[in-house]
Chains A and B, each alone.
Chain A
Amino acid sequence: MPLLAARDLAVGHGDRVLIRGVDFRLAPGRVLCVLGPNGAGKTTLFRTLLGLIPAASGQVLLGADPIDRLSRRQIAARLAHVPQALANPFAFTARDIVLMGAAARLGAFARPGRPETARAMAAMQDLGIADLATADLALLSGGQRQLVLIARALAQDAAALVMDEPTASLDFANRRQVGQAIRRLADAGHGVILSSHDPDHAAALADEVLLVNRAGVLALGPAPEVMTAANLSRLYGIAIGRTETADGRLHFH
């Protein structure tokens, strides 16, 4: 049973459909990367997968259940969102943010107590950011902030993770750190779907790749098979070459 699946899904706003014919199954332990140029509708696709906006047509399934039959709380218990790390007007500490992951499992009138705090600290420990617990989020680097949001998704204790451009606007070291964290989460049994516009990064990180642009879904499959020079040239509308290093890494140029 896949954690998250799309069946002949079309996404868009109102009458304006951005992507049609999305079909995938996200299994535990797998990383699926949605790759495409800006404006292809990746963010709209992810908001639909999270049940934040209705599908134009087709279905999103969480386990066996169509997402539109589940409450916000039921969705959050199975599917966690790692948003882009944007600035917040208030100076929350990293731990305040990670604790919020407990919302899906706490009663309406409850506040996080000892077990939730322990869970949050464990999630930060897993990602190597326990020493940032009392740090002001606004003072952290982009990569650290992204790790805090990933820790919050872990504290939410959902099997599937949706990450919107988790490495966008990160420098090289931060990008590598976040990439390694994502890989470890998948190895620990999470299913991860993320978006990217960097082919090298997608190839290094993902088990499967879904190529989308304004024309729609181009291809879906294992990264080395789908990410051919021809496919990527079609995807971005410019000539792109591919080389493979001795250790099997793919580079696009």
Chain B
Amino acid sequence: MGRDPMPPLSRRCWVTERSLLPLLLPGLAAAVLLGVALGPYGLPPGRILAILGGDRSDPQAVTVLLNIRMPRVLAAALVGAALAAAGAAYQTVFRNPLVSPDILGVSAGAGFGAVLGILLGLPVMAIQMLGFGTGLATVGLVLALSLALRGTGQVLVMVLCGIAVGALAGAGIALVKLLADPEQQLPAITFWLMGSLAGIKRPDIAALPAVLAGLLPLLALRWRIGLLAMGEDEARAMGIPAGRLRLLVIACATLMTAAAVAMAGVIGWVGLMVPHTARLLTGPRFDRLLPASVLIGAGFMVLVDTAARNIAQIEVPLGILTAVLGAPIFVGLLARGARGWSE
């Protein structure tokens, strides 16, 4: 060594392991407080704390806080965390920083089930369940197909099957829109497909167990999962049962994405952009990337949903806002030339 003049080799990490939670948790807390406080019925932080402390003197404020705002903010945080974590997981196991959680068709699949539920006039809970089920079934079909075809490039086969099955689900969505009643159902379907948490009430947050069931295994195994970024042969030679672990990660990420889409509709960009942003802070190690993605995703979604409720007379669909916010942020990140991933 020492024959080359040493170029600046070190990648600056903005957030060290130790400062990760102390830095990101207050940010999430601030976003949640803002989301709970803002709305047509304003709740100053002092009032919020008083109600949480047991003050029931203002029944209307209590109802707004406990039955409207908090379920909604919780749902937003859940959706953001789920999409961002799923995106980080998919990007790592597919070894591609441009992958988003709908890569295997889960969004289109869940979307098809949900719009079908709207067409059939099902109650909210049943719509969510149907969307969740078809989302899981879509990825199950993709995995079964790719196992049946099993070429040498397994990941590539998987992704191509995802595109094919996703296209089918997209056709199904188009068909449902065609059949829907243009006065009542079609606007509901269109609004839902653009993403919204407008209908969320407390009992509707059935997605919570599904998101946790997907997230907890990923968190527990996060260091080993990171080794999948080295490719299947290398990971196996390091003692990792790569094939099984990858299937588990896909199952967990799919569970979370299907739950998020079933509850909130199709919300793009979050699953792609948040892991990217997090990677700039933490570097590519999945054991640091995952917690950072979860916290940033949750905070980002709470802010976006708060904006969706407050910036106009009507609710702005979330998918529109995430794209409007996400695209410039994304391009800005690229323009900085920051390298969370190499060429």
Contacts and interface: CB of A to CB of B under 8 A. Distances in A.
A104 B239 contact: yes
B283 A72 contact: no
A134 B239 CA distance: 24
Contact of B96 (A89, A106, A137): A89
Contacts of A100: 226-227, 230, 238
Contacts of B241: 71-72
Given A77-B239, A135-B10, A136-B342, A89 B95 contact: yes
B284 interface: yes
Nearest to B286: A90
A52 B243 CA distance: 11
B9 interface: yes
A125 interface: no
A139 B339 CA distance: 11
Counting chain B CB atoms within 10 Å of each CB, the highest count among A89, A92, A136 belongs to A89
Contact of A103 (B1, B10, B227, B279): B227
A47 B234 CA distance: 10
Interface in B92-109: 95-97
11 contacts: A72-B241, A81-B233, A81-B238, A83-B237, A90-B97, A91-B339, A91-B340, A111-B223, A134-B11, A136-B9, A138-B342
Interface of A: 47, 50, 52, 71-73, 75-77, 80-81, 83, 87-93, 96, 100-101, 103-104, 106, 108-112, 128-129, 131-132, 134-141, 144, 152, 156, 173, 177
Contacts of B226: 100
Interface in B226-267: 226-227, 229-230, 233-234, 236-241
B239 A91 contact: no
Tell me what chain B mostly uses at the interface: helix, strand, loop, or mixed.
Answer: loop
Given A83-B233, A91-B283, A91-B341, 19 more contacts: A50-B237, A52-B237, A71-B241, A72-B236, A75-B239, A76-B237, A80-B237, A88-B95, A89-B97, A90-B95, A100-B226, A100-B227, A103-B224, A112-B223, A134-B10, A136-B342, A137-B342, A156-B239, A177-B1
Nearest to A138: B342
A176 to B, nearest CB: 12
Nearest to A96: B285
Per DSSP, chain A at the interface is mixed
Interface of B: 1, 3-4, 7, 9-11, 95-97, 220-224, 226-227, 229-230, 233-234, 236-241, 279, 283-285, 287, 339-343
A135 B95 contact: no
A128 B287 contact: no
Contact of B234 (A81, A112, A128): A81
Given A88-B230, A91-B341, A91-B342, A136 B10 contact: yes
A137 B238 CA distance: 18
Contacts of B239: 72-73, 75-77, 103-104, 156
